[in-house]
Structure formats: structure tokens, C-alpha cells
Structure 1
């Protein structure tokens, strides 16, 4: 019934739905598993029963997106109406609303809602979807009257202010303001003692209230802004500052993104439940303390570290047995790929995704990285200053996506037969010195997409004249350098 509140053919994201279900209280504790892990089990069961249809998996096979079966949705919509479970409004909402549902999903609101809902006291959940334009002037009324509100997902709305009365929503477990115009949270936010998820990603909030550290049940905190979507500048993201009290948030599983400061780095290791961590503005002198903190995070599966500038050296020498995705943006010391445990192929190594940006490596990184035989996604941006890269036979057997961007000195790329045998997508972006077609590209027989972006006209001519790859050029996309 919950999924049927969303529009027909709506694509759910796994993490999104897991957080919503957890906030709604649908998920029961089971053994030592987290609520999120139990919820993922629910999702898998629904997919196995064909009640939800899997749309996409990530590169290492984990379910990523899915949709609801059309016939099942029609049956569930009827059940929602009979049980007053929830209602959906699409496009322009006209009031007054006389529905009894406790959950309200608003889809593609064109105008503001002028009249209040007749069931405002009963509402427990409000979710906005799509390209909504409403400023949602009813928010103050909801904060004052819907005292048992559990979930407010208002992402994308042009809301500029959150009323102080929100602190009175003692049962609120989820507050989503992603992409909103909100510049600051009221001090009363510290009263939301049951809050599990606070999503401020892409909003205009720069500083969090000091009382945020009182939210000891908080599990997911998002407060990152992308300042340069193309990522051409070194600093393309900004995060939040938590100058004191970070160690109180011991339930955190997601922290994206924290601006590194002396005080916050000092207490980072107390967040032992973290699964996902993004650290920005990291100075080299912080790396020792960060290493000590990461050792305490035995469940950490995603780590993103960005240096404070392109000359700061990231020295991360720690073994993270649960790590699946690693993103490093900043200079790496020579020999780091061979010496750091992060890149060691040890038993049980599950590193699937690796992003290296602005690493300034002078030695070919591929021989070292080829030991990571489980890699399914490899991305280089300004990571290597050399002139040649060679993928040898047998290397990266499970790699599905390879992206090489802004390697300005790279003039020759070689792919031997039997290398990257599972590769499905190849992106070559702004390789200014490359004038010849990569040798051996015809061996990539499993390729589904080729992207040649920001290339020169000479390189495009070489591609079109290369007889050995004409069979796969039908899957290629081009864009020329300005």
C-alpha cells in the first residue's frame, strides 16, 4: 500500500525507500541486524515475489532501482482508500481536502495549496515528488496542528524558512529539505529527539544549530552542496561544520559531508556505527587522526575524502575490511597504491568502486590496482600525469565501467586481449594529448556504451577511419572540445 501512494511507474531508489519505511515504523528489529538491513530484506522479498520489479542493479549486483507492478498497484490503491492508509494528489491541488488518509503524497504541485486539509490533525506523513513549484505555505499550520507528524519529505520545494514550531513535532523521525531554499534551521530543531534522518543536501544551509548534537537517535545526516557539478574545479563540494559535540551522535550511519576541523576530527572515531562517510577540506596534518578514527569504523562501506587543496597529500594507511566504495580527491604520495592497506588485495577484500581524482600520480597506477580483482567501477580524473596506460591480459576481470578524464598528458592507451573482459561502459573525456584510437579497443566485445567526450576533430577523424572498431562505433557518443 505504501508504494502505491507514489505515481504509476515511479522508480524507487533502495536507500530512499529504506529510510522512509524505517521512519514510518514499518521495520521490526531482528537479531543484530540494523533496521536498514531488515528493510532491505523486505525489499528483496517483495522483488522475489514479483510484487516489485527490479529496474537496475549497481555495478556489483546490489539492487538499486525498482518499480511497482501495474496490476498490483491498482489493487493496492483500492486497499489504501478502504483503509484510510493514504492518498495521492497529482498536479494542481484544489481544496478543501476531505480525505481521511493519514499519509499524503503530493506529485508535481503547480501552485500553492490555498486551503488547509480537513484532516490536518490526522496527518502523519507528507511527501512531495516531482518538479513541484509550491512554496507550501501550509507548513506553519502543519507544525502547529499535526502534532503526531512522523515524516516530512519536502525535497525540491522552494521553501525558504522552517517555522520554530517544528520543534513541537516530538514524533518526527524524518525531515527532508533537499534542494530547498532554506538558509538556516531554527534552534528548536534540537527538540526533535526521535529524528532518524535529516536531509539538507543541496539546500542553502551553511551552518547547523549547535543543538544538532542533542539528536542522539539521528542515523542519517546529509548536508552537502555541490558547488561545481562538472567537477572541473578542485573544490566542487562543500559540507557542514560541527565544531563541538560530534561524538554525541553515536547512532549515525551516514554523515555527508563533514568539513574537517580540529575539534570534529578529534571525535570522529566515536562514530562507530558509520556506514557512509564523506570528509571535505582535509589537511595533511589531519590524516593521522583520521586513520585512528577509521580503524574504529568496522562497518564502513563507503568513504569519500577530499583534500583542502590540490597540494595537500592524503596519507590514509588503514585497512577497512567492509569497504566497498572509495573516493579520494587530492594528491597521493608516491608509492601509496603499493603501501597503503586501502589498496591491498587481502582475503575478503570487497572494494568494488574506486574514484581517484587529482591524485597527481607519476607512475602507472594500473599494475598496483590490478590486484583489486573485484573492482567493477574505476574512475580517474586528473589522477595520472604519465603518457601511457596499458591494461594487460587478465586484469580487472569484473570491471564494468571505466572512466578516464582530464588525463592531459596521456597520449597512448593500450588494451590487450583478455583485459577487462566484462567491461560494458567506457568513457574517455578530455584526453587532450591522445590523437590515436586506443590500441586493442576492438577486444572489448562486451561493451554496450562508448563515450568520447571533449575530443579533438583529429581524434574524431581517426575514430571514423579505424576499420577495426567500426562494429562497436554504433554504440559510441561523441562531443568535441570547445
Structure 2
């Protein structure tokens, strides 16, 4: 609960620093409230640790949290009134009237704020005195990090990594399932079911099987099935698997026909993960054609009756709990992921570890999470023994949730807030890491840490959640950062439970109650169509975050003017109409705005009134760009546009000291942009006379690590080999879309030496680039896409040497005459994933036979 107080303290500091001229005599009251909160903050660590076992302490924390929210509302509401006067029409007549009339209005608002702060101060003093009654110690703030827990050594895994620690002992299960799936076993469409309790690893096993089996099938897809699935949504996903364009407004019969057309002559593998009801297969079995060609359906479920009803001829494959030996092995592999546990683990801990692992009753998820807890502790007997002593429950079916709860209790307060926030996302939702990180920053969850940016500290928080196995990483970037992840449904249940207990997030989903509790809703997440009317009824002026995952059902009844204190707004899928944005400019406290799968017109609202906006992310929403005054918002940190959003001319002068990300923008004519902290840049260039301005811009970006340029013209030398960059040596990602200069070939010595990712598209190279690219010792991801090689290029692509760090290679160039890809022995020793055109034959040396090869 400490995050509420920390966030409010940050807000008060900003108010005192920036708005002192408007506070008048109330400024002293604000400072007094701030001092009292700082004193109470130092008690929060001890109080939070005691709250689980003492209802009085929990009530104390609830009172403090609610009061912190009240302080935030009071100061922000006052700021809202002041800002309203700033935005009045600046006519001469109006200015004369303002001089006469504005002072009484301001005094009235100050009087109301002063009275509210007096009440708050009295309550704060009472709360402060009660720390003695409840036995809460006044801890120095710096002691927060001096407990048993140690800072986790954060690792940056490969982007294609499969966590072998989490699939221990599943190889035999995988082989058994693969035999059942093999097309030659039977010609009929078999339905194979994997059955087991939550946390046994059904999804992990299904993923392993999918990667190995899909090569036998012309069509393959893996679908996550929520408890409240939507059949049409599933059909659309299956139809769009092969990049088919799918309209969203047709009836079920249309989608059934389209899917049958796609599957008509193809052998298919469809994996349905986490099926809760037999109704799903009863619907799908009439839709999926059985052409007697060895097609297969693989289903995972917790319920035996669901599995048995799917295919009476094939008994369900039941996953078993791990025995004591395998349980101990999995636990220690989680604590020592890159070492031999029997060699690295101290002898006295090896004697204690079996007792600890037995508590998990053979459940893999519990063992993995418990291993994450032990990994944060000292390698000392007393530290591990105290973990064991807290595990005093009996085998009553609640052991797994108890262990997960213990992992949650073991987190620092800011990480608890980050974890609870995950309840805002629907079941089985694939979460974009960079979007989530920017929401965390906007919410004020992330503590400042040395010279790191807030985003870098947030990346560490997400990495720590992954290390604790509280999230499941799906993919990583070439430099090892998490890109996409999911939350196991049991862990999401834990996040939901904690979020409800602390009034942190209110979720409107199929599982939520029809009657909401009598409380102020600070953060709201709409995840179900049928909850729309309830959602509109309960959210309101005190709501600070809105996440709308069923936004297509909010087209009526939702008015932005009701949310004037909003800080975070995430919208996904606003029906098929243009999203109404005109009144969004009233949300002057908004810091994060993300819009996906909508048609938008950003020119219809004056976004510059959002003076604190940090993130505008509309990368999947086509529309019109914001007005020029948008670029005057000095707090902007991340601007991500859809490729059509920023096609019009941008202002000639932009001066944004905090901007870190700018994608995608179109440049026209000469311009002078001052972006000293820019790290990621994506530019469209549709004119051949803009290259001088672009090159001059690159010279002013000392921190740039990612550069992407798209053009319909030939790229000049200063862009292909951007040596003008001040940070040229440390540029990590380079994506070039456009023809290379005439008669210019790839030369490794001219490319950034520490390049991690390189993407070439439409380059029209006339020579095999691999001998030169192999000299880039840091390169981890290489993509040669459409027309990367000239249309008249003939012969194989040969990789004769080098590529010491390459993990991912993609050759997707259907316009060339490439027939073979040959990798010499000793080349690409770290390669794990290879994607090529279906017609390309791949020749790998013996040591790379394990590499996953995908063709399309």
C-alpha cells in the first residue's frame, strides 16, 4: 500500500515547486501535510510486513491509503480549476475582465483547498499517533533494502529463450504426446487432451509439443481459451493466421465458410489451451473439417470430463505431480539457473532443500515460484530455514496459493504495486512490455535509481518479476529485454485478490460481482461486454486509470469530461467507428494515452492542454496527426504513431528535452529539431532532398541506440553508414528500408561495430552480404526481407565464417532467386532460430541440427 503515499509525496513536491504562485497562504499547509506523510512513510515497511497477520494494522494501512488518495484528489482538483482559468480565451476584453474577476475565484478555490487540508492534517496526526498503539516501528527509509532479501542479479536472456528450468522432466511427456499427434498414426481427425491441475505445466508442455509437431502440418495454430471465450473471435484468429485480411463485422456463417475454405485441402494442427467447458469442442467439431488426412486437435484442460467428452476413443493424457527427486531438481535449478546445483549449493543447504521442496507437493509452478524466493535470499542456512518455517500449512489444497502469496509478500512495496497492476489485463492477454512499463512510470510506481531513466528502472522491475517467475516471458528483444509476456491464470488470480483487498484495481469482467463494493474506484479495467453499463455507473471523477479492453461496447454513455483527474488511458478496439476524441483535451492530468485498433483524428482536440503528457502510443490506430501545438508539450517522453498518423509535415522547430522515443514521423523540407535525449527514432522520407536535414539531425542525437529509416528513394551513404552519429560506436539497432546507393556493397568496417540488430529491406544488394556481416561480433538478430537482395541475384546465400553472437536469422525474400542457405561448420555457434522462405533449402552443420527452422 506504500505506493499510494509515495505517489502522493511526488505529486505534492511538484505542486509546491511549480504552482507556489497559485497556492498563496495554502502553500504552508501543503508543506505541513507533506512533512507528516514523510514521517509516516518510514513506518510503512514495518506495517506492510505485519498487515497479513493483524487486522488492526491492515485497517491502519487502509486509512492511510484512502487519506493519501484524498490529498491527491484535493491538490489535483485545485490544479484543475487553476488550469481552467489559464485556458480561457485570451482576448483583450477578457484579460481586462480577468484582472477584476479572477482573484475572487482563485481565493474561493484556495479557501476550499485550505479547509480540506486542515481536515486532512488532523487525520494524519491521528494516524501518526496510532503507530505506537499498533506497535509499528519508525524505520529509517534507507533500511528498506537491509533485510534478508538481496538484490536479484538481473539477467538479460536471449529473445528466443525457452526456460529449460521450467520444463525439467517434461521431455518424456513431450515424446508421448508427439507420438499421439503424428499424422501417420491414424487418418481420422484425432482429439488428444492433456489433463492436470493448474500449475502442473500443461501450457508449457503444449508449447513444447507445438514447436516440434507443427512441421508435419500445412496449417497450425495455438489458441489460448479464456473461461468466457467468444467463438467468432476464435474463428477470426484462425482465419487471420496466414495473414488473411478478415472483416470484423460479419456473422458466424461467414467465418465458418472462410475457415473451411482455408482448411479444405490442408492437414491441420490446432491447439486449444486451457479449455474450461465441453461446449467449445461441441461447437468446433461441426466447424473443423475432417478430411481423413491426419489432422489433429490438441486440448489442455483441468477437467477430466471435458477431455473425455472431446474424443471417446483416445483416453486423456494425465500430467502427474513430480516425485520428490524431480521436485528437488526443479527447485535447485531455479535457484542456480546456470550452474550445477549440487556443486554450487552449500552442503548444509542441500540437506535443507528437500524439506523445502516437499512443501510444494510436486506442483511445478509452486516449486518455480518458491525457487524465485530462495534466489533472493542469502546462501545461508538461517535464511533458508526461516523460509521453511513460514511454510507451516498442511496439505489442504491451498499450498500452491500459499507459496505464491509468500512470494508476493517477499517483494518490495513498489514491486507489489507493479504486480497488482497486472490484474488490469484480461485472462491470457499478451502484454506488451514497453506499453506496461510506460503505464507504470505514469502511475508513479517506479523509484528513481541513480542515473537510470525511469524506464530503465521499470525494465529492471519487470525483469525481477520474471526472475521470481511471477510472469511468463514470451519473447525478448535482441538485446535481451522482455518484449511480450503473459501471466499464469493462478498468478493472475493472486494479483486480482491482492488488488481487490487493497482497492488498487477494480476489474469489470465476467467473473466480477454484479454489485460493486461501496468504495471509490481509483483504477478501472473493463474486460467484459456485459459489464459495460455497470462500468459506466461506477467509474467517475476520482478514477485515475481507465483500461478499456472491451471498448467497442463503450460507444454510448462514456463521457471524457467525467474523468478529468485521469492519468492513464488505454483503449483497445473502439468498434468500427472513429473514436471520439474532441473532449479529451480536458484531461489535463493525463500522462499516458495508448489507443489500439481504432480510427482516430488527433487533430480534433487540443492535446497541448495535456501539459503533463508523457506517452502517446497509437501505433496500431490509423488516422490524422495532432496539431502543431502538440509538439509544445515539454513532458513528452514517448511518441509512437501508426505509419499513417504522422505523414503530414511536422513543425520545423521542435524542442523536447525529455523525448526518448519518436516513431514514425514523416519529414518535409528543412527542419531544426532539438531532441538531446532521444534514444529511438523512426523516420519516413518521401522526398529525395531531405537527406541533408536528416543527417544533420542524427549529428545532434548523442544517446541514440535505435535508428529506423524508410524511404522510396535510394539511401545516401551517410544514412547507410551513419558515422555522423555522436553515439555511432554504441548504436545497437539499425533498420534500413530502401535502395542502397548504386554500386555500394556491405562493409562491416563501416557499420556500427556493436550492432545487435540489423534489418535490411528493399536494399537491392547485388552481392552476398554474409561474409561481411559475419564480422559484426555483437550481432544477435539479422533480418533480410523483401528485395534485400537484387531481383537478379542468383546462387545460394553462403555463410562462410563469423557471426559469433547471432541467435536469430531471417531470410524472407520471395522476390529473389535464392534457392539455398548454407552455413559452414563453426559459424553461428549460438544460433537458435531460423526463418526462411518455403522454397529455400537450408544446410546446417552437425552442431546446429538442434536449431529451430521455420518456413513460410
Aligned to 1:298: 702
Q: Any conservation in 1 of the 2:526–2:532 contact (CA below 8 Å)?
A: no
Task: State whether structure 2 residue 548 is matched by structure 1 residue 146.
Answer: no
Q: Pairwise mapping of residues 59-458 of structure 1 onto structure 2 (< 5 A)?
A: 59-68=478-487, 72-90=491-509, 100=519, 101-107=521-527, 109-110=528-529, 113-115=532-534, 116-129=536-549, 133-140=552-559, 143-158=560-575, 160-225=578-643, 239-241=646-648, 243-244=650-651, 246-262=653-669, 265-268=670-673, 270-281=674-685, 283-307=687-711, 309-311=712-714, 313-316=715-718, 337=721, 340-341=722-723, 349-361=729-741, 363=743, 365-368=745-748, 372=752, 374-391=754-771, 395-405=775-785, 406=787, 407=789, 408-430=791-813, 434=817, 436-440=819-823, 446-453=830-837, 455=839
SS of equivalent residue, structure 2 residue 837: strand
* Change in CA separation of 1:245 and 1:29 when aligned onto 2, cut-off 3 Å: farther
1:123 Cα deviation after fit: 1.7
* Change in CA separation of 1:467 and 1:384 when aligned onto 2, cut-off 3 Å: closer
Q: Any conservation in 1 of the 2:716–2:741 contact (CA below 8 Å)?
A: no
Deviations 1:227-283 (A, max 9, x none): xxxxxxxxxx66244543742444322222222123xx5221x22222222222254
Deviations 1:120-168 (A, max 9, x none): 2332111123x7642442331xx22233111111133235243543332
- Which one has the bigger helix percentage? 2
Deviations 1:261-310 (A, max 9, x none): 23xx5221x22222222222254433333333323222222222233x32
Distance 2:481 2:639 in 1: 23
Distance 1:446 1:301 in 2: 23
SS of equivalent residue, structure 1 residue 177: strand
Distance 2:705 2:851 in 1: 37
TM-score relative to the length of structure 1: 0.75
Distance 1:364 1:412 in 2: 20
SS of equivalent residue, structure 1 residue 434: coil
Q: Any conservation in 2 of the 1:99–1:119 contact (CA below 8 Å)?
A: no
SS of equivalent residue, structure 2 residue 619: coil
Distance 1:390 1:72 in 2: 45
- Which one has the bigger strand percentage? 1
Distance 2:444 2:426 in 1: 22
Distance 2:651 2:777 in 1: 46
Distance 2:806 2:628 in 1: 47
* Change in CA separation of 1:173 and 1:384 when aligned onto 2, cut-off 3 Å: same
* Change in CA separation of 1:412 and 1:257 when aligned onto 2, cut-off 3 Å: same
Q: Any conservation in 2 of the 1:362–1:384 contact (CA below 8 Å)?
A: no
1:196 Cα deviation after fit: 1.5
Distance 2:627 2:655 in 1: 14
Q: Any conservation in 1 of the 2:796–2:818 contact (CA below 8 Å)?
A: no
Q: Report the RMSD for the aligned CA atoms in angstroms.
A: 3.8
The total of aligned residue pairs comes to: 430
* Change in CA separation of 1:452 and 1:99 when aligned onto 2, cut-off 3 Å: farther
Structure 1 unaligned blocks of 5 or more: 226-236, 317-327
Q: Any conservation in 1 of the 2:702–2:725 contact (CA below 8 Å)?
A: no
Q: Larger Rg: 1 or 2?
A: 2
Distance 1:428 1:453 in 2: 7
SS of equivalent residue, structure 2 residue 504: coil
Distance 1:293 1:272 in 2: 10
